Amino acid sequence: MNESVLDVKGMNCPLPVLRANRALRSMAPGARLRVLATDRAAVADFQAFCRETGHALLACSEEGGVFTFLIRRRPDPPERKEA
């Protein structure tokens, strides 16, 4: 499975989520993005972001003040056919 890493350590809300959103838009459906952040607000921010956008938050952990989020990009919506 394709996985990219986004290091947003030292950035404060809302930058980690905004940078992750930009990265996810350029990734293939189903690809994984591992985000490294130090902002404590990122925990709630990424939970809400994934809930609202349909991306899957696969894992969230913290070690030594660094939060790691593993996000799977949502599938593209099916194209609508015009009648």
Active site residues: 13
**Structural tokens at position 58:** 């696969």
Which amino acid appears at position 28 of this protein?
Answer: A
The dihedral formed by the CA atoms of 27, 31, 37 and 43, expressed in degrees to the nearest 10? 110
CA–CA separation, 22 and 83 (whole Å): 33
- Helix-strand-coil split of the chain, %, nearest 5: 30, 30, 40
